[in-house]
Amino acid sequence: MAKSALLKSSIGKKYWMALTGLFLCVFLVGHLAGNLQLIFGTDLQFNQYAYFMTSNPAVKILSYLTYFSILFHAVDGIMLTIQNKKARPIGYVKNNAASNSTWQSRNMAVLGTLLLVFIATHMTNFWAKMHFSDMPLQQQTVSQAVPMTDQKIDLIVYNTTTGSFIAQQQVESGEFEIRNNKEFYIKGTDVKFAEGYKDLYKITIEFFKDPTYGLLFTIFYVFSMVVLAFHLMHGFASAFQSLGANNPKYNGLINGLGKLFAIIIPLLFAIIPIYIHFIK
Amino acid sequence: MNLTLKIWRQKNAKDKGQMVDYKIGGIEPDMSFLEMLDVLNNELVEKGDDPVAFDHDCREGICGMCSLFINGEAHGPDRGVTTCQLHMRKFKDGDTIYIEPFRAKAFPVIKDLVVDRGSFDRIQHAGGFVSVNTSGNTQDANALPIRKDNADKAFDAATCIGCGACVATCKNSSAMLFVSAKVSQFALLPQGRVEATERVLNMVEAMDNEGFGNCTNTGACEVECPKGISLENIARMNREYLSASIK
Amino acid sequence: MALDNKIPQGSISSKWTDYKDHIKLVNPANKRNIDVIIVGTGLAGGSAAATLAELGYSVKAFCYQDSPRRAHSIAAQGGINAAKNYAGDGDSVYRLFYDTVKGGDYRAREANVHRLAEVSVNIIDQCVAQGVPLAREYGGLLDNRSFGGTQVSRTFYAKGQTGQQLLLGAYSAMNRQIGRGKIKMYNRHEMLDLVIVDGKARGIIARNLVTGEIERHSAHAVVIATGGYGNVFFLSTNAMGSNVTAAWKAHKRGAYFANPCYTQIHPTCIPVTGDHQSKLTLMSESLRNDGRIWVPKKLEDAQAIREGKKKPTDLAEEDRDYYLERRYPSFGNLVPRDVASRAAKERCDAGFGVNATGEAVYLDFAAAIDRYGKEQARIHHLDENDAKLVYDLGQKVVENKYGNLFQMYYKIVDENPYKTPMMIYPAVHYTMGGVWVDYDLMTTVEGCYCIGEANFSDHGANRLGASALMQGLADGYFVLPYTIGNYLADDIRTGTISTDLPEFVEAENNVRSMIDHFMNNKGQHSVDYFHKKLGKIMWNKVGMARNEKGLNEAMEEIAALREDFYKNVKVSGTAESFNQELEKALRVADFLELGELFAKDALHREESCGGHFREEHQSAEGEAERDDENFSYVAAWEYKGNPREAVLHKEPLVYENIKMVTRSYK
């Protein structure tokens, strides 16, 4: 009884919605902290962050948890929505729902679907590229003093995860070769010398500054963040209610926190593409 | 007042049903909404037409028999009242009023505006009681002191009249407010705690089997509930269910 | 047939115990082979159904509503009496017994009332065990209040919704048995005839209100628990569907109908506003604990108020007539219901009524708000001369005590009762009369029982506040289960009663021909048209004050109206479907017969007692004059085909434990 109650019952499904939803809220905070480096950090810092996110084993576990949460949240939501639609086969001719509930609370499924579309697009644009495609590696221009002269020359180098540099020349000259899109090997050997950072920073900036589609992408991202805001506006506090946390003493706090969260997080997310597109 | 009424007419459970327009005049602001329908029905009967069927009984807001989805809201535009307590002064001369039955798969229409809320009874059969015999030979009523705030909260939950406005209002036709009110009443009292685990599991299972939807926490039920049953009860049931599930 | 009330021998306080010790019992294996039909699922029927099922009988319960939870017991507000003496103020079983008999103006049967007082204590234990959330004090123990002018605090309550909570308790006990399959519940079914086989009640004919099917149901005993017949007045505080049909059908099949004229008119109801009115709303009597009742002293002020030229708040203190305080200085506004109601009618008849219809008096909380406000100001060391502060503080106290009632008043009348006095007027509320039953609660039809408000019961000529709930639950939980067992013990070998017996066929045909008549009638008026007319006759001539001339006229008019009804009523729709007009027609047909018997009973009772006031029998000051010498009996009427030909049987009332005195509240 108890086992199936947690999975199959209407209330059980809501627990999972709430738990995955709240976990995704935590994820949003982490994700935002990283993304903000597009504004406040250097390209290297951002790429280092991106590297960390894809390589750290603990983060890996978290990321799988995130994929799972997104999928579960979506599938569970779809199942609930189907059940809910079935519960009222004939609708009302006139329904003044605005008088008793907020718009977002009644449209979580629509908002969720839009977010799913956004997540799919977003992952194709960045996550998939990061994981599966050829991407330029992080480079830096350094000035090097030419020995025995006062002159300095600019040298383009690859940053590596160990903190050392590999000059572009060294790759061009065949001293090193890049395998798996990011690893530097001593040519002709299986000796891995170092690992570079994929330049997600560059990809991101180019994406939003794209002369043809940049504005469109920016609008799409900002719009999606508005959708997210509405989704969170109801979802955050609602998750607490689903988990049974409702106490008149603290309800004000939870609701206030929820509203704050729903406004600040998506707003900060939305500022990034705007900043890149218009200011950077 | 002169009014245009758009009323759902449906001969029986199998009929398809449709909205039908009626014009009605001579309505006083002091009339209750159901008295306005009485006037209409009297006219229909004297013309030889079938009067509009609607449920009602006590007409003082306590039996829970009356229903009606009026202008898009369960029990109409006023707050904290049932349809029988809604007065025509809430409407203006010349208004068009939509009158529909409570809609839910678990509340099939019997005729016109009359629906079958037997699903509520069946949920109660599953656990809406304390298993004590009725011999009267229980312990003295004052043997167990009960914290006043718990007793008061139990009472507040117990004031549910089982009208079904929560289901009718909920976009998902969820019965969570109704079920949680009963679960809460007993969960808050020592007499009910003994069976709390089985009760919440059985009642929620019965609720799910009746085909009600899920709770999306829109809070619409609480707003439209004529007795102001609080969402706290739903949260309490969520807690009760969680602890019962993992036991 | 001589009436045998079957009161056991012995002293009053040991009768019930001795009775229980000596009744026949049915063993559990046999109980499940015995069927009991219970019609009505209010406090009495619901609690009886649950208990009989618990004991092991196979119960079939019927109600006309869509769920047993909606029975009109749910609307009782004030509370339930029990001789618990938790307050330690000197209450006892004897005192409750004494108060009930006295309050009933010495027209109730001693033995029954004593039993009621005895089991009252079990009711509270039972209800608390069932999870009924009765009001509690901060110490966690049950709270009591004084109610309806009694000198002790014995009333248990759940805010203003005591009836609701108790009914839901009984409903939950029923649900448990329905879930176990011990009660078969027939919602939306209405009993339309009683079936008698070999002199014993063996079943009913019921109409399925959803499909229109006529169904036969058999059982070894039938219990009628269908409440009172106040709706004979059309306007009452009863539910719209409350009716006399089940009780009346039993009457027509041989059950005597007792004291139909004893009607309780409740003083604190919201006044009628116009002809469209379908129902009256009661506000708890507890309001009289703090409200002061008055009308203008001068006729011209009353006139001005009726015309809307003056407001009640415009009248100075000396221009107000607090007539209850004036007439009954010791009880003041807390006089019993019948006294308060008649006093209001007296003032309004004299032209002092205060709403457009001239039928309303004021219930004023200004003094209470001021008193409480000053008290609060003193408690909190604030300035008690600051009028606004005092008003605000006082209003808060009043709101805490009566907030829900004030809110209800505001919703109905659209006036703020904190600012302007409430308007109230008496309305029909409860009927003390009903089917005659013996000590076993059995009617004069063997095997047909009647419990709760439907029987003539324990309240005599007037019921005290908070006693109706007590009686309903006492009958259902604790009395009927014993007495019916005593009867059913002889039925263990009977086996299932066949519904193919000719008696069932006859009864069904009887019902069908009645329905056919209505469906085929080519009339032009709706059922309500006749019901309203009946109500007007009843209210004007058989209402709060009655006289010989009016009662004779009423009997004539009702008989004529009944004839007109059968000729000219129009019922649309079909019989084989959900048809609320047909339901009403069948109910009103019975009211039209009852109304005439009602008037006949009132006419024959040449005295004023309790809820029955004959203008011929009053003192010079207008107080009721009871005639114990000639009318100290229960009037049980036997049906003879026409209400006016009903035959009177008298059950003498013997008071061995209480001395009869004149009720005085001066």
Average pLDDT (A124-142) is 86
CB interface of B with A, residues 128-147, below 8 Å: none
Lowest mean pLDDT among A191-195, C127-131, C459-463, C511-515: A191-195
Nearest C-alpha of chain C: how many angstroms from B245?
A: 22
For residue A276, the surrounding DSSP H or E stretch is: none
CB interface of B with C, residues 100-139, below 8 Å: 110-111, 114, 116-118, 120-121, 124-126, 128-139
For residue A214, the surrounding DSSP H or E stretch is: helix A214-242
Pairing of strands B114-115, B69-70: unpaired
Tokens of C327: 């007439």
Residue C663 has pLDDT above 80, yes or no: no
**A49-79 residue pLDDT tens:** 988 888 889 999 999 999 999 999 999 999 9
Q: Pick A106's closest partner by Cβ from B72, B105, B171.
A: B171
Note whether A touches B: 3 CB pairs or more under 8 A. Answer: yes
Residue C331, pLDDT score = 86
- DSSP-H helix ranges across A36-172: 37-40, 43-55, 57-86, 103-106, 108-122, 128-132, 168-172
Residues 6+ apart with CB under 8 A from C484: C36, C52, C221, C223, C440, C441, C449
Would you call B62 and C161 a contact, using CB atoms and an 8 Å cutoff? yes
Let me know if C609 is exposed, middle or buried by CB neighbors in 10 A (0-12, 13-18, 19+): buried
Share the mean pLDDT of chain A. Answer: 92
Share the mean pLDDT of chain B. Answer: 96
Residue A50 Cα distances to A11, A40, B52, C327, angstroms: 38, 15, 68, 92
Give the whole-number percent of chain A exceeding pLDDT 70. 99
**C279-330 residue pLDDT tens:** 999 988 889 989 999 999 999 999 999 999 999 999 999 999 999 999 999 8
CATH of domain A2-90+100-134+215-279: 1.20.1300.10
Whether C327 is catalytic is no
DSSP helix, strand, coil percent of chain A (3-state; round to 5): 65, 10, 20
Residue A1, pLDDT score = 44
Strands (DSSP E) contained in C270-325 are 292-296, 320-321
Residue C282 Cα distances to B61, B230, C160, C276, angstroms: 12, 27, 11, 18
Out of A179-188, B11-20, C150-159, the most confident range is B11-20
Lowest mean pLDDT among A26-30, A185-189, B192-196: A185-189
Length of chain A counted residue by residue: 280
Query: Within a 13 Å sphere around the CA of C623, how many CA atoms are in the beta-carbon half?
Result: 12
Is pLDDT larger for residue A181 or for residue C414? C414
Give the domain ranges of chain C.
266-428, 509-628
For residue C635, the surrounding DSSP H or E stretch is: strand C633-638
Count of other CB atoms within 10 angstroms of residue C588: 24
Pairing of strands C80-81, C155-156: antiparallel
CB C172 within 8 Å of CB C27: no
Residue B137 Cα distances to C8, C30, C127, C472, C485, angstroms: 23, 24, 11, 18, 18
Average pLDDT (A169-193) is 85
Q: How confident is the model at residue A2 (pLDDT cuts 50, 70, 90)?
A: very low
Lowest mean pLDDT among B197-211, C13-27, C169-183, C390-404: C390-404
CATH topology of domain C266-428: Flavocytochrome C3; Chain A, domain 1 (3.90.700)
Domain total of chain B = 2
Cα three-residue angle A72-A77-A82, rounded to 5 degrees: 130
**Coil vs helix vs strand at C113:** helix
Task: Let me know whether B58 and B148 are in one domain.
Answer: no
Q: How far apart are CA A13 and CA C21, in angstroms?
A: 57
Residues 6+ apart with CB under 8 A from B115: B55, B67, B101, B102, B104, B107, B108, B109, B164
Q: How far apart are CA C468 and CA A172, in angstroms?
A: 102
Which residue of A100, A230, A238 is the best one to mutate when testing the B interface, meaning the one whose CB has the most B CBs within 10 A?
Answer: A100
Task: Let me know whether B97 and B210 are in one domain.
Answer: no
Task: Let me know whether B157 and B60 are in one domain.
Answer: no
CB C155 within 8 Å of CB C124: no
Count of other CB atoms within 10 angstroms of residue C329: 10
Would you call C408 and B185 a contact, using CB atoms and an 8 Å cutoff? no
Please compute Rg for chain B using Cα positions: 20
Task: Give the domain-ending residue among B69, B88, B110.
Answer: B110
Q: Please report where in the chains the tokens 């990034």 appear, as a residue.
A: A272
Would you call C124 and B126 a contact, using CB atoms and an 8 Å cutoff? no
CATH topology of domain C509-628: Methane Monooxygenase Hydroxylase; Chain G, domain 1 (1.20.58)
Residue A7, pLDDT score = 84
Cα three-residue angle C510-C513-C517, rounded to 5 degrees: 145
In chain C, which residue's Cα lies nearest the Cα of B132? Answer: C130
Q: How far apart are CA C554 and CA C565, in angstroms?
A: 16
Give the whole-number percent of chain C exceeding pLDDT 90. 90
User: B74: domain CATH number?
Assistant: 3.10.20.30
Tokens of B119: 């699903």
Contacts of C571 in chain B (CB under 8 A): 45
Tokens of C593: 């017969």
Interface check B92 vs C, CB under 8 A: no
Task: Give the domain-ending residue among B110, B137, B172.
Answer: B110
**C315-370 residue pLDDT tens:** 999 999 999 999 999 889 988 888 899 999 999 999 999 998 899 999 999 999 99
Average pLDDT (C651-664) is 90
Tell me the pTM: 0.95
CB A94 within 8 Å of CB B74: no
Share the mean pLDDT of chain C. Answer: 95
What SS3 string covers C41-83? CCHHHHHHHHHHHHHCCEEEEECCCCCHHHCHHHHCCCCEECC
**C99-125 residue pLDDT tens:** 999 989 999 999 999 999 999 999 999
CA nearest to A102, candidates A232, A264, A250, A257: A232
Between B and C, how many CB-CB pairs are < 8 A? 227
Residue C623, pLDDT score = 87
Q: How confident is the model at residue A164 (pLDDT cuts 50, 70, 90)?
A: confident
Average pLDDT (A132-147) is 84
In chain A, which segments carry CATH 1.20.1300.10?
2-90+100-134+215-279
Give residue B195's domain range.
117-245
**C47-65 residue pLDDT tens:** 999 999 999 999 999 999 9
Residue A3 has pLDDT above 60, yes or no: no
User: B167: domain CATH number?
Assistant: 1.10.1060.10
Q: How confident is the model at residue A32 (pLDDT cuts 50, 70, 90)?
A: very high
**C578-593 residue pLDDT tens:** 999 999 999 999 999 9
List Cβ<8 Å contacts ≥24 apart for A34-40: A35/A269, A35/A272, A36/A268, A36/A272, A38/A201, A38/A204, A38/A205, A38/A272, A38/A275, A38/A276, A39/A271, A39/A272, A39/A275
